[in-house]
A and B are shown apart, each in its own frame.
Chain A
Amino acid sequence: MTDTSERTDQLEGQTLAEIGADESIELAEQAQRRQSLWAIRWILFRRSLRHNWALFWENRIGRFGLGIIAFFAVLAVMPTIFFATGYWNPAIYDPVTGLEPNPPVQRFTVVNEITDPATQIDFTRVLLDNRIPNDVLPGDVVEIPLQPAPPDSRHWLGTDPLGRDVMSQLMHGARAAFFLGMLAAVVTVVIATIVGSVSAYFGGAIDAFFMRLADLLIMIPALAVLIVIGAIFEFQLWHLAVVIGILSGFGGTAIVLKSQALAVKVKPYIDAARVAGGSNTHIIVSHVIPNVMPLSFLYMMFTVTGAIQSEATLSFLGLLNVRTSWGLMLQLANNQGYLLQGLQYWWLLFPAGVAVTLLAMAFFLVGRAMDEVVNPRLRKR
């Protein structure tokens, strides 16, 4: 009978590790006496990197994804430059406590019955609006500061309902997204590599436990789990990253990496190492894990996509305590009722929503392109 691992193995087909292993034999013969194992590995790594980069670069979809990621990376470093050069005053442009002191004003005529909402304002509303002097009467003209205000030369993407600069929030949001995605991806890869290697190498009860756990984690809705954990612990951004990393590291990614490790386990050099008296830890650390690594980078990309989307959704549901993020920008707009008014408040509707979508997509596309590099059967004929 089969196991998930075999299935995934077939899905993924042969992988880089196999190519690497074949190459390593001839290379090792050349360099055996002069260089240590790690040095050989480094040479191989550089060579395969160059080779794989060339393959990757041929892929238009991958280039496109990488371009988007680069764009957001630039966006993420901009505020540091703007603040350092004094181009942006933190009192105005801080993404959380910034406030536009002189927002644009709109003039309204006070009336009892509105006929033209663009230039008129209801008298009863005026009375309840403390920003307007109390002694106005119908017929008077009042000036109401706009908050949120549409884009102008000072605020390229306008201001939000609390008078803060949307562009600055977008840039800080990009920073948060990169931080979250990268941390989650690293945690995933570390866990998945270890779990995958260990369960492939030892098999038996350890394998069964991790694989059933992975079965469960794959199918448990991650969002629901995150909601529970978010309700218990006060979620900061890095907490979320670690939890996503754990869920994905013990889940699907572990299964894939285990199947990869299984393929490595049956290689002659593993037997050789065992015969030579290498300890289990030694074999796992210096033979299995390095050969599983390349594939794990591929899965990092998919984890980043998942992490960015989870953060946005949790923020949107109001379950996350972060100071700035794209999800939070949308949540505020929604909470204050600016989201679903057609295109009138487009600067609140589009920037964050499009940014989440694009960056998640970019990482996914890069992952796909890497898949084609790693998996030769998907390459062009």
Chain B
Amino acid sequence: MTRYVARRLVQMAFLFLVFLTATWFLLYALPGDIVAQKYATNPNIPPEARRLAMERLGLDKPMLVQFRDYMVNFFTLDFGYSFNQYPRPVVDIIKERLPRTIVLFLTAVITYYWAGFAAGKYLAWRRGKRGEMAITVGGVALYTVFYPWFALIMLWLFASQLKLLPLGKFLDPDKWRNAPYPANDVFLRMFWLTLITSVVVFGIHLLARRIKDRTPRRLVAWAGTVAAVVAFLGYWWVGREGAVMRPYAADIAYHLILPVLTLTLVNFAGIMLLTRTSMLETMREDFILTARAKGLPEHMVRDRHAARTALLPVTTSLVLAVATVIDGGIITETVFSWPGMGEVLVSSVTLGDIPLAIASFSFIGVMALVGHFLVDLLYGILDPRIRVTAHG
């Protein structure tokens, strides 16, 4: 086990280095350095100023020297300044954008996983019956819909025509005028509190599973969940800071609805189909037949036995959502005026802001590698069949 982890870590480190180098050279090859691009439109700027700007950004040095400097700085955790917003540190920009992206996409991912899992369960159970075709085709149509187009139509329909939801943005400037907190503080508070509550609820359920009797087990699980939720809400209503922050958090939550709804509609079908496949396979397993043979009611077999096992591959696919999230972010954030990491990626590349682009890409690269590693570990721990083969 330790040896396996160590080997994986070394592999990952090597691959990251390759990735970083490749990214750097790719971005370096971008046509039109940022100085030329910014100054080419202003003939009043003398060539001298252009030269000075190149010098200040370090673009006048030979390529390999620039590369060496970058790498040395990178591994001393100095990611440099943004070229476009010089002298703002790259880390600053990422820190500003990240909380918004995390809150939006975490909410969206949880929602569409839940929706997809529920729909997939239903679909597997109704195998070959009426409705299956409609749900599958409808779900897949949404899954393959041309997303920018769909998002604009959603915005037009819900915000402009029906006037149910706000027109993009993550807050209402009128409500936030002279707000005591910057939006990012509220975003982070929402994120951590929700995370802590979720972890507590999850922990309670894990603990409850150890109780043998059914009634006390349910009681503990529900009481614990309710207590956690009450504590969560209590913070916002009674807590000293929470009460002040509540209207602001609520405003953000209100603005979350439309992008989350759109992302859910577009993404749930992927999870639905995965769940269906996984369920169909699980349902052929012996223990399901046994459960049926015992005469347990159908919904019990479906929800308690089949679904739990089928959940496994679905859960681990969660980590793959990182890529979907960032791809979706590029469009979602633009259409819904929610400037986050997706926008940073596109604009830094199109503007030739190399340090910002590399930092964002390597950030995603690290997330990708670590995420995948964790999935493999998690999968090994959760699925006993694999643990056996791995040790065997």
Contact = CB atoms under 8 A, between A and B. Distances in A.
Contact of A364 (B143, B146, B150): B143
A297 to B, nearest CB: 18
A220 B148 CA distance: 20
Contacts of B161: 342
Contacts of B133: 60-61, 64
B211 interface: no
Contact of B390 (A2, A229, A356): A2
B300 interface: no
B11 A364 contact: no
Contacts of B389: 2, 6
A219 B346 contact: no
B148 A227 contact: no
Contacts of B281: 13, 377-378
Interface in B341-392: 342, 345-346, 349-350, 357, 361, 364-365, 367-369, 371-372, 376-377, 379-380, 385-386, 389-390
Contacts of A3: 376
B245 interface: no
B71 to A, nearest CB: 19
A316 B127 CA distance: 38
Contact of B346 (A232, A317, A377, A380): A317
Interface stretch (A32-40, A182-190, A207-215, A283-291): A207-215
Interface stretch (B112-120, B172-180, B185-193, B318-326): B318-326
A362 B330 CA distance: 25
Interface residues of A, number: 59
A212 B345 contact: no
A56 B327 CA distance: 33
Interface stretch (B25-33, B40-48, B235-243): B25-33
Nearest to B145: A357
B140 A361 contact: yes
Contact of B380 (A2, A313, A349, A380): A2
A145 interface: no
B33 to A, nearest CB: 13
B323 A219 contact: yes
Contact of A2 (B146, B350, B386): B386
Contacts of A222: 323, 327
A223 to B, nearest CB: 4
Interface in A298-332: 305, 309, 312-313, 316-317, 326-327, 330
Given A4-B376, A227-B349, A231-B30, A216 B368 contact: yes
B367 A219 contact: yes
Contact of B148 (A10, A212, A313, A368): A313
A6 B386 CA distance: 8
A356 B141 CA distance: 10
A368 B284 CA distance: 20
B225 interface: no
B143 A215 contact: no
Given A216-B369, A219-B323, A377-B281, A353 B19 contact: no
Contacts of B136: 61, 365, 368
A1 interface: yes
A7 B316 CA distance: 10
Interface SS of B by simple majority: helix
A228 B26 contact: yes
Contacts of A364: 140, 143-144
Interface stretch (B50-58, B95-103, B197-205, B272-280): B272-280
A219 B372 contact: yes
Nearest to A359: B144
Interface in A189-242: 208-209, 212-213, 215-216, 218-224, 227-229, 231-232
Nearest to B371: A219
Nearest to A342: B156
A270 B146 CA distance: 45
Contact of B146 (A60, A220, A227, A309): A309
B323 A330 contact: no
B6 to A, nearest CB: 11
B149 A377 contact: no
A308 to B, nearest CB: 8
Contact of B323 (A10, A221, A312, A353): A221
A218 B323 contact: yes
A2 B357 CA distance: 34
A6 B7 CA distance: 18
Contacts of B365: 216, 220
Contacts of A231: 30-31, 349-350
Contacts of A2: 376, 379-380, 386, 389-390
B370 to A, nearest CB: 10
Interface in A72-112: none
A164 B86 CA distance: 44
A221 B349 CA distance: 14
B11 A208 contact: yes
B75 interface: no
Given A218-B323, A224-B327, A340-B152, A378 B380 contact: no
Nearest to B18: A213
Contacts of A368: 136, 140, 273
A77 B284 CA distance: 46
Nearest to B161: A342
Contact of A380 (B23, B31, B128, B364): B128
Contacts of A339: 149, 152
Contacts of B376: 1-4, 7
Given A2-B390, A224-B327, A357-B141, A218 B148 contact: no
Contacts of A213: 15
B206 interface: no
Given A6-B389, A228-B26, A365-B137, A356 B146 contact: yes
B313 interface: yes
A11 B278 CA distance: 7
Contacts of A317: 330, 346
A121 interface: no
Interface in A7-60: 7, 10-11, 13, 60
Interface in B286-327: 313, 316, 319-320, 322-324, 326-327
Contacts of A208: 7, 11
B1 interface: yes
Given A209-B11, A340-B156, 5 more contacts: A2-B390, A7-B379, A218-B323, A224-B330, A342-B161
7 contacts: A2-B389, A219-B320, A219-B372, A223-B330, A224-B330, A316-B149, A317-B330
Interface of A: 1-4, 6-7, 10-11, 13, 60-61, 64, 208-209, 212-213, 215-216, 218-224, 227-229, 231-232, 305, 309, 312-313, 316-317, 326-327, 330, 334, 339-340, 342, 349, 353, 356-358, 360-361, 364-365, 368, 371, 375, 377-378, 380-381
3 interchain residue pairs of minimum CB distance: A219-B368, A360-B144, A221-B326
